[in-house]
Structure 1
Amino acid sequence: MADYKDVYESFWKQIIEDETGSINKDQLMKELCDYKYLLDSIPGVYEEVTCNTVSKPFADPKYVIESHREAFINKRIALDDLRNMSVAAKHYSPYETVVSLGAIEGLLK
Structure 2
Amino acid sequence: MLSILLIECKEDDANIFRAYAEGKITYSDAKFLEDPIHLVKDKKIIAETYPKESGSFVLAGPYDKGAYKLQLKNFKVKSFSTDTQGCKISNDSLSIEIPDGVTYVIFNDITLK
Provide TM-score, normalisation by structure 1: 0.22
Pick 1 or 2: higher relative contact order, CA cutoff 8 A, min separation 6: 2
Q: Which has the higher helix share?
A: 1
Q: Which has the higher strand share?
A: 2
**The structure with more radius of gyration:** 1
Provide TM-score, normalisation by structure 2: 0.21
